[in-house]
Amino acid sequence: MKLELRGITKRFGPLVANDSIDLVVEPGEIHALLGENGAGKSTLMNVLYGLYEPDEGQILLDGEPVTFNGPGDAVAAGIGMVHQHFMLVPVFTVAESVALGYEPAGPLGVIDRRAARKRVKEISDRFGFNLDPDAVIEDLPVGAQQRVEIIKALSREAKVLILDEPTAVLTPQETDELIAIMRQLKAEGTSIVFITHKLREVRAIADSITVIRRGKVVGEASPTSSETELASLMVGRSVSMAVDKAPAEPGEEELVISDLTVLDAKGSAAVDRVDLTVRRGEIVVIAGVQGNGQTELTETILGLTDPLSGSIRIAGREMVGQPVKERLRAGLGFVPEDRSTSGVISSFSVAENFVLDLYDTRPFARFGTVLPSVVDANARRRSQEFDVRLTDVQDPISTLSGGNQQKVVVAREMSRPLRVLVASQPTRGVDVGSIEFIHERLVVERDNGTAVLLVSSELDEVMALADRIAVMYRGRVVGIVPGDTERDVLGLMMAGVPLEEARAQSAEHRTALAAADVMSEEKL
Ligand code: ADP
Ligand code: MG
């Protein structure tokens, strides 16, 4: 089915989220929609899926204009969507999940389980999904849950499938599996709109690429474009993807975590007997798919959570049992994972957010009175140094873009002398230009002698910055490896495969590839 969007405009109050967007997706094509966070990708897809009514513009299917008054209409017209956050019920089986809202109903209107199971099995076998119709959703890995969502769309005869940032929650291997599935769907004639901000994936699979920036289409690109070219289109200026950094010169141990166990609310070990050391002058990255204990680990280092057992030392001093303030005083800097709940106070001004922990101390206050001129001058200087784009330091920080808010947090944390900096997903939801800047500053901080512990689930970021990499899986550190470890070895470890086995599997894979190469050469 051919899909055309013509002049789609969608406003939220004064904000134009989609500004007269044109998009053509040919039958059986994988069309990547590429853009930074906040560019308007999800909004456009929600319009296409009937969730939002466009203010202007038209949707055409095979040349015929259509109007959707809700997702039901879109589904009936052959459009399927897998949202970034799936909407599955954890205790349902795969077959029940697929039947929900589709319901091959029997004569009495009850869900026909047998029909549903049969349908799941059929689709699963046809596309090599490898899904058991009777498996319970909550027992399945995220990648398999995503395949359930895809089956759900396919079982309703989707001709155009929208995948909104599907790889954000996947390990690299799961991503490869998804890419294989997308190829298979394409071979069967399904059109796919593939949304991502990851350039590597776009180049791997897209037939055509539309780049949007600030709600507007800024260009079409060919899949043969380089990552740098695509990134420049996305951001609107040239960016460098590589991080310039000299080899680390690690010094004394500044952060020493030993045998640390932290329980989650349900009483199971979110962090399980973790040992980890970070020396001054090095960046250690904790790699892993989100939700494997990284959050609990960093919150315990800061002191928001108490461990069940184990020790955390900063510069030789035990920190377990000490309040947060004491840890900050010992030289800990912290860039939280969720900026909006613990990084900034939205209603405060930019200037105030620059001194959140320090506002009652010199030089920002004297005899208990805050000195606004000093606070403002500090903010102006720091904003300049960290390239924070703003109109006035007195404006509420909520008026800044996500990337600029994050730069305020990073600048604030780096503006006092640190021994240890813990940065948790510091570039999540941040535009490419700001990512580049934040990366550079992390390296500067390292070179100034700080021990940097970075948590990241973006493999490109891990590989660009790490001097050493600790991979976390289900609360445990699966292995600690050098910063230049191969991507596929890291990917396997992120799925819980121990280091030696990951190395062996990856070597085997490479030998097989090389053999295949020789064979194809022989044929020539
Ligand atoms: P993307 O998917 O490319 O990251 P979105 O389409 O989610 O971007 O968002 C585009 C812009 O529209 C952003 O500035 C976002 O804050 C805004 N936006 C999205 N949904 C809403 C909404 N329901 N109400 C108000 N603003 C919204
Ligand atoms: Mg989105």
Q: Is residue 314 part of a domain?
A: yes
The pLDDT, as a whole number, for residue 518 is 65
Whether 102 and 222 share a structural domain: yes
Q: Is residue 494 part of a domain?
A: no
Q: Is residue 367 part of a domain?
A: yes
For ligand 2, a single-atom ion, which residues have Cβ within 5 Å?
42
User: Closest residue (by CA) to atom 26 of ligand 1?
Assistant: 12
The pLDDT, as a whole number, for residue 283 is 98
Whether 163 and 223 share a structural domain: yes
Q: What H or E segment, with its residue span, contains residue 209?
A: strand 208-213
Q: Is residue 299 part of a domain?
A: yes
8 A C-beta contact, residue 446 and residue 425: no
User: Which residues of the chain, if any, have pLDDT below 50?
Assistant: 103-105, 108
Q: Is residue 505 part of a domain?
A: no
Quote the CA–CA distance of 359 and 321 in Å, as a whole number: 25
Strand 420-424 vs strand 369-370: parallel, antiparallel, or unpaired?
unpaired
The pLDDT, as a whole number, for residue 515 is 77
The pLDDT, as a whole number, for residue 475 is 95
Distance 180 CA to ligand 2 centre (A): 23
pTM recorded for the entire structure: 0.70
The pLDDT, as a whole number, for residue 281 is 97
Whether 310 and 398 share a structural domain: no
Q: Which atom of ligand 1 is nearest to the CA of 164?
A: 2
The pLDDT, as a whole number, for residue 341 is 65
pLDDT digits (tens, 9 = 90+) for 486-523: 988 998 899 888 999 999 988 888 887 777 766 655 55
Helix, strand, coil fractions of the chain, as percent rounded to 5: 40, 25, 35
Whether 323 and 349 share a structural domain: no
Quote the CA–CA distance of 334 and 281 in Å, as a whole number: 17
Quote the CA–CA distance of 258 and 244 in Å, as a whole number: 32
SS3 assignment, position 155: helix
Whether 8 and 86 share a structural domain: yes
The pLDDT, as a whole number, for residue 371 is 81
Whether 312 and 379 share a structural domain: no
Quote the CA–CA distance of 477 and 292 in Å, as a whole number: 10
Q: C-alpha distances in angstroms, 189 versus 159, 168, 421?
A: 8, 25, 50
The pLDDT, as a whole number, for residue 110 is 59
The pLDDT, as a whole number, for residue 184 is 92
Q: Is residue 470 part of a domain?
A: yes
The pLDDT, as a whole number, for residue 169 is 74
The residue to mutate among 5, 10, 15, having the most atoms of ligand 1 within 8 angstroms of its beta carbon, is 15
User: Closest residue (by CA) to atom 17 of ligand 1?
Assistant: 17
Distance 379 CA to ligand 2 centre (A): 31
Whether 361 and 477 share a structural domain: no
CA dihedral 428, 429, 431, 436 (to 10 degrees): -10
Out of 192, 210, 235, a domain closes at 235
Ligand 1 binding site (Cβ under 6 Å of any ligand atom): 12, 15, 17, 35, 37-43
The pLDDT, as a whole number, for residue 102 is 53
Task: List the CATH number of the domain containing 324.
Answer: 3.40.50.300
Q: C-alpha distances in angstroms, 404 versus 52, 135, 339?
A: 29, 44, 11
Whether 61 and 194 share a structural domain: yes
- Number of structural domains (the chain) is 3
Peptide bond into 363 cis (omega under 30): yes
Strand 253-263 vs strand 269-279: parallel, antiparallel, or unpaired?
antiparallel
Whether 226 and 270 share a structural domain: no
Whether 267 and 374 share a structural domain: no
Find the domain containing 294 and state its range: 242-331+417-485
The pLDDT, as a whole number, for residue 227 is 82
User: Closest residue (by CA) to atom 22 of ligand 1?
Assistant: 12
Q: Is residue 492 part of a domain?
A: no
